[in-house]
């Protein structure tokens, strides 16, 4: 066993010295750091979208401009809230964030409700003086060394019609005149500076007569008969959505007025809602409300599954490459002069496993470190997140399934490496294993929604899938019989695969020439 550990140390030392190992160590925290900052960077680098607006009806120009102004003020309001959070004075005795008591929310649903149904906060923000008034009120809450607040720039800015293009042209003629600018063949002038025209909004004079009411059939492709939105950028629809929403709201307000309905009362009714509580029957009385901690425990296993898949695949691939390289360079023959094939195989498995644990440990540590170093409430959130993960038992489960999953797949990869002389030969034999390994990725998002369903239960009892599926089901507390039974079956399968791989490794590691056929390989195993 001593020689096996010497081989393991050699494997570990040789791999941690490589550039690829350190690139793998640093690339993950770099991606995490970029993901935290990407939103701000993209927002800063995104160009201002210039548009022209021609409202020949005189009814929609003001609502569209008001809607875009509210959009800008909402962005300022949100950015200012983050600024105050990040630069607020830290009071003594401040209680930490308790995720067990923070109600669970759907961020997308909450933001949509905030933007569409509850704009009172933004409207009050504007009425009370906007950013200047908010800055004056927040001075006493900020640290003395707090940086100056930088308001986000406008995403959309109106441009005047180009010279020679008349606003009273027929909509079709007006669109034709603007096409060279929309195709960026020509530029518009904004405050005397040339700029690319992003979009053109044309409202015909008889837009009220083109309103679609209930019972009216609209044929596909006839939308341009109403308000026309012209843009060559089909991917960025933010401006289109805001303009369409503003037009619909104004048309509906006009319909309310025409029918003698108080539009303000209708809006108040639309914003009326009943509180909706999500409750967990497994929790004790009085604490049934679903909290953020519960949501983290529910979905955190999916992140661990992905990390498990990446870790197993990366280091098993590393083991395969090392074995083939040493075999093709005849280093294996030198090693086998000092150790037995069994000791060499065991040493490789242990050494590469240590490399994988080092890499994954560095990834998890860097993730928590980045969260802790982030300014604002993210640091408290990170510590609470870590405590939730510890209390949920996900980390021990991850370690167990990582070790067994690695040994299962590493044994197969090591056997393939011992039979092949080049990576090209190994890639041909790895096809079936790759097909098996891709299944957990396809089912990763579905299993948490039905963790004890037929698909999850069946896959749990298939050893190559057991580490990923049972890790994904960890938050659902599967039956003890399944947890113990699948673990025992996985352990037995892993031992069998390692035994089988050991026989193949002993016979194939010094073999040269073409890899054996399947029937020949069976004869090897029987005769060994």
Give residue limits of the domains in the chain.
Answer: 2-29+291-527, 49-270
Question: Which pairing describes strands 188-190 and 156-158: parallel, antiparallel, or unpaired?
Answer: unpaired
Higher-scoring residue by pLDDT: 180, 102 = 180
Q: Confidence band (pLDDT; 50, 70, 90) for 64?
A: very high
pTM, two decimal places: 0.61
pLDDT for the residue numbered 388: 63
Q: CA dihedral in degrees (260, 264, 266, 269; nearest 10)?
A: -150
Read off the pLDDT of residues 199-221 as tens digits, 9 standing for 90 and up: 999 999 988 888 887 766 666 55
CA-based R_g, the chain, Å: 32
Q: How far apart are CA 290 and CA 286, in angstroms?
A: 11
Higher-scoring residue by pLDDT: 398, 92 = 398
Q: How far apart are CA 76 and CA 280, in angstroms?
A: 37
% pLDDT > 70, the chain: 73
Per-residue pLDDT at 54 exceeds 90: yes
For 86-100, b/e burial (b = at least 16 CB within 10 A) is bbeeeeeeeeebebe
Q: Confidence band (pLDDT; 50, 70, 90) for 108?
A: very low
Residue with tokens 């870590």: 386
Contact 50, 196 (CB under 8 A): yes
- Give, in order, the Cα–Cα distances in Å from 82 to each of 132, 151, 164: 16, 11, 45
Higher-scoring residue by pLDDT: 508, 228 = 228
DSSP assigned state of 178? H
Q: How far apart are CA 225 and CA 125, in angstroms?
A: 38
Q: Confidence band (pLDDT; 50, 70, 90) for 222?
A: low
Quick one: average pLDDT of 89-106? 51
Question: Which pairing describes strands 228-231 and 197-203: parallel, antiparallel, or unpaired?
Answer: antiparallel
pLDDT for the residue numbered 65: 93
For 129-167, b/e burial (b = at least 16 CB within 10 A) is eebeebbeebeeebeeebeebeeeeebbbebebbeebee
Contact 242, 115 (CB under 8 A): no
Cα–Cα nearest to 158, from 214, 95, 200: 200
Highest mean pLDDT among 37-46, 178-187, 254-263, 346-355: 178-187
Highest mean pLDDT among 27-41, 255-269, 423-437, 487-501: 487-501
Residue with tokens 């939308």: 223
Per-residue pLDDT at 111 exceeds 50: no
How many CB atoms are located within 10 Å of the residue 402 CB? 22
pLDDT for the residue numbered 288: 65
Q: Confidence band (pLDDT; 50, 70, 90) for 95?
A: very low
Q: Confidence band (pLDDT; 50, 70, 90) for 159?
A: very high
Per-residue pLDDT at 250 exceeds 50: yes
Per-residue pLDDT at 286 exceeds 70: no
* Main-chain dihedrals φ then ψ at residue 196, nearest 5 degrees: -80, 140
Higher-scoring residue by pLDDT: 454, 149 = 454
Per-residue pLDDT at 307 exceeds 70: yes
3-state helix, strand, coil in the chain (%, to 5): 65, 5, 30
Quick one: average pLDDT of 271-289? 70
pLDDT for the residue numbered 260: 87
Per-residue pLDDT at 107 exceeds 50: no
pLDDT for the residue numbered 179: 93
pLDDT for the residue numbered 32: 72
How many CB atoms are located within 10 Å of the residue 344 CB? 24
Q: How far apart are CA 365 and CA 371, in angstroms?
A: 10
Highest mean pLDDT among 60-69, 345-354, 441-450: 60-69
Q: Confidence band (pLDDT; 50, 70, 90) for 281?
A: confident
Q: Confidence band (pLDDT; 50, 70, 90) for 93?
A: very low
Q: How far apart are CA 440 and CA 438, in angstroms?
A: 6
Q: How many residues does the chain have?
A: 528
Higher-scoring residue by pLDDT: 160, 395 = 160
E strands in 123-205: 156-158, 188-190, 193-195, 197-203
Per-residue pLDDT at 425 exceeds 90: no
Least confident piece of the model among 250-259, 299-308, 350-359, 482-491: 299-308
Long-range contacts of 484-491 (CB under 8 A, 24+ apart): 485/461, 486/460, 486/461, 487/400, 487/404, 489/461, 489/463, 490/404, 490/408, 490/463, 490/466, 491/404
Mean pLDDT, rounded, of the chain: 77
Per-residue pLDDT at 409 exceeds 80: yes
Contact 160, 188 (CB under 8 A): yes
Quick one: average pLDDT of 270-297? 69
Quick one: average pLDDT of 496-522? 74
Quick one: average pLDDT of 402-408? 85
Q: How far apart are CA 199 and CA 311, in angstroms?
A: 46
Q: Which H helix or E strand runs over 451?
A: none
Read off the pLDDT of residues 334-381 as tens digits, 9 standing for 90 and up: 777 777 877 888 888 888 888 878 887 887 777 777 766 654 444 455
Q: Which H helix or E strand runs over 182?
A: helix 171-182
């Amino acid at each position: 066993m001593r020689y096996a550990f010497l081989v393991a140390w050699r494997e570990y030392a040789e791999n941690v010295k490589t550039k690829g190992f350190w690139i793998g160590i640093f690339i993950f925290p770099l991606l995490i750091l970029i993901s935290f900052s990407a939103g701000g960077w993209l927002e800063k680098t995104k160009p201002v979208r210039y548009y022209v607006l021609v409202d020949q009806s005189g009814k929609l120009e003001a609502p569209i401009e008001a809607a875009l102004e509210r959009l800008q003020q909402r962005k300022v309001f949100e950015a200012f809230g983050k600024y105050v959070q990040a630069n607020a004075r830290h009071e003594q005795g401040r209680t930490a964030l308790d995720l067990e008591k923070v109600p669970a929310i759907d961020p997308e649903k909450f933001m949509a409700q905030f933007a569409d149904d509850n704009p009172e906060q933004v409207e009050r923000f504007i009425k009370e003086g906007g950013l200047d008034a908010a800055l004056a009120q927040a001075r006493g809450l900020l640290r003395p060394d707090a940086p100056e607040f930088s308001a986000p720039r406008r995403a959309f800015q109106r441009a005047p019609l180009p010279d020679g293009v008349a606003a009273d042209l027929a909509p079709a003629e007006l669109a034709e005149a603007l096409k060279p600018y929309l195709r960026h063949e020509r530029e518009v002038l904004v405050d005397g500076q040339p700029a690319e025209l992003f979009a053109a909004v044309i409202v015909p004079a008889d837009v009220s007569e083109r309103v679609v009411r209930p019972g009216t059939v609209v044929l596909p492709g006839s939308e341009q008969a109403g308000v026309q939105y012209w843009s060559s950028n089909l991917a960025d629809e933010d401006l289109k959505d805001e303009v369409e929403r503003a037009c619909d709201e104004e048309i509906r307000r006009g319909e309310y007025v025409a029918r003698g309905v108080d539009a303000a009362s209708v809006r108040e009714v639309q914003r009326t809602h009943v509180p909706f509580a999500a409750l967990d029957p497994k929790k004790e009385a009085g604490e049934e409300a679903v909290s953020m901690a519960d949501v983290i425990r529910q979905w955190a296993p999916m992140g661990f599954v992905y990390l498990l898949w990446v870790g197993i695949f990366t280091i098993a691939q590393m083991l395969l490459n090392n074995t083939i390289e040493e075999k093709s360079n005849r280093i294996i023959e030198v090693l086998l002069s000092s150790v037995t094939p069994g000791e060499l195989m065991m040493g490789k498995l242990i050494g590469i496993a240590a490399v994988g644990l080092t890499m994954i440990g560095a990834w998890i540590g860097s993730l928590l470190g980045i969260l802790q170093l982030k300014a604002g409430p993210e640091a408290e959130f990170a510590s609470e997140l870590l405590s939730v993960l510890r209390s949920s038992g996900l980390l021990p489960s991850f370690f167990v399934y990582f070790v067994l999953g690695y040994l299962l797949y590493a044994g197969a990869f090591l056997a393939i490496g011992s039979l092949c002389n080049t990576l090209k030969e190994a890639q041909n034999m790895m096809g079936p294993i790759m097909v098996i390994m891709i299944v957990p990725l396809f089912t990763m998002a579905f299993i948490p929604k039905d963790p004890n369903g037929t698909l999850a239960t069946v896959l749990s009892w298939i050893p190559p899938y057991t580490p990923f599926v049972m890790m994904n089901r960890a938050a659902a507390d599967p039956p003890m019989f399944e947890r113990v039974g699948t673990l025992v079956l996985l352990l037995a399968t892993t031992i069998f695969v390692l035994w089988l791989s050991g026989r193949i490794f002993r016979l194939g590691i010094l073999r040269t020439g073409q890899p054996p056929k399947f029937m020949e390989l069976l004869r090897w195993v029987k005769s060994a």
